Chains A and B, each alone.
Chain A
Amino acid sequence: MPPGVEEPVFAEPWQAQAFAMVVALHRRGAFTWTEWADALSAEVHGRGAAPDGHDYYEHWLHALEALLVAKNVSTGAEIDDLAAAWERAARATPHGQAIVLENDPQREGAIAT
């Protein structure tokens, strides 16, 4: 356990975005903070979290997905399909350009809702 070294708050940008989505959803009343703490607790206790804590925001993300599914905001399949679409879009985007979902070669199927 290292003493108080000032490490960056987020290791990667997606962690910051996952964090901020929870704060934003709570602010608009999508769930209570107790519901969120319970969801996060279930993840960090249920999946054998790494002793060094490097996977904390992976648990955070899983907890957010689980809570959104439990609240009927989305489904696991919808998230899986859209995540795959984003990965395809990224690979189809020339290096150095911003990745946008419209670059997904299978776009028609991906955005059907």
Chain B
Amino acid sequence: MSADHHHDNELDPFAARVRALETILTRKGLIDPAAIDAIVETYETKVGPRNGAQVVAKAWTDAAFADWLKRDATAAIASLGYTGRQGEHMQAVFNTPDTHNLVVCTLCSCYPWSVLGLPPVWYKAPPYRARAVIDPRGVLAEFGLELPARQGIRVWDSTAELRYLVVPLRPEGTEGLDEAGLAALVTRDSMIGTGLPRLPA
């Protein structure tokens, strides 16, 4: 950033305001700087869409788990060790040959962090938030996803209390794969609904 062009240090205004808040909140005992660093590390390195891929792969291979996931996604996902920190409930929405599911948050950017990590930039940007509801098929086309005309699209609008995880259809030709092999096919976008799982090599 601009610091490269100065001999002295320079904080941009946003960085300075964040430091100001950190100072105020630390003085008041409301945050602990070490805890802040730990949260950053968790979300940068430990929480991500691999968690969700494990959930999907287990649902593909274990009918009892899939049934549990349909009925009580919050508990089924927690059983794998992935729990939300915002007290949110999870709902798993299963794609079928007749229905493709797509998740958006028109309010702001609610997203199932515990299974997908933090949302991609486009998920948080106004065009996706506005258009996913109005023209889902057009939005999917921009992602390179052309669905059969007979397959309807159902759009799910996330809230602070309820987040959605799309369970895509298991690709054909994956009968011989175990859970780990299947999880490797499950992309982040396929769990938001803007993509499909990879095909087996």
Please list the residues of chain A having a beta carbon within 8 angstroms of any beta carbon in chain B.
Answer: 1-4, 6-7, 9-10, 12-14, 16-21, 23-28, 30, 33-34, 36-38, 40-41, 44, 49-54, 56-58, 61, 64-65, 68, 73-74, 78-80, 82-87, 90-95, 97, 99, 101, 113
Which chain B positions have C-beta within 8 A of A36?
A: 160
Are B107 and A90 in touch, CB under 8 angstroms?
A: no
Interface of A is mostly: helix
The residue on B at minimum CB distance from A37 is B160
A37 in contact with B11 given A49-B125, A83-B20, A101-B23 (CB within 8 Å): no
For residues 1 through 56 of chain B, which have their beta carbon under 8 Å from a beta carbon of chain A? 1, 6-25, 27-28, 30-32, 35-37, 39-40, 43-44
Of A25, A30, A40, the contact of B109 (CB 8 Å cutoff): A40
Give the distance in Å from the alpha carbon of A7 to the alpha carbon of B123 in the complex. 12
Q: Please give the distance in Å from A11's CB to the nearest CB on chain B.
A: 9
The residue on A at minimum CB distance from B45 is A9
Q: Please give the distance in Å from A64's CB to the nearest CB on chain B.
A: 7
A19 in contact with B43 given A3-B143, A27-B85, A52-B121 (CB within 8 Å): yes
Are A83 and B110 in touch, CB under 8 angstroms?
A: no
Please list the residues of chain B having a beta carbon within 8 angstroms of any beta carbon in chain A.
Answer: 1, 6-25, 27-28, 30-32, 35-37, 39-40, 43-44, 85-88, 107-110, 117-118, 120-122, 124-128, 139, 142-144, 159-161, 187-189, 194-195
Give the distance in Å from the alpha carbon of A91 to the alpha carbon of B11 in the complex. 8
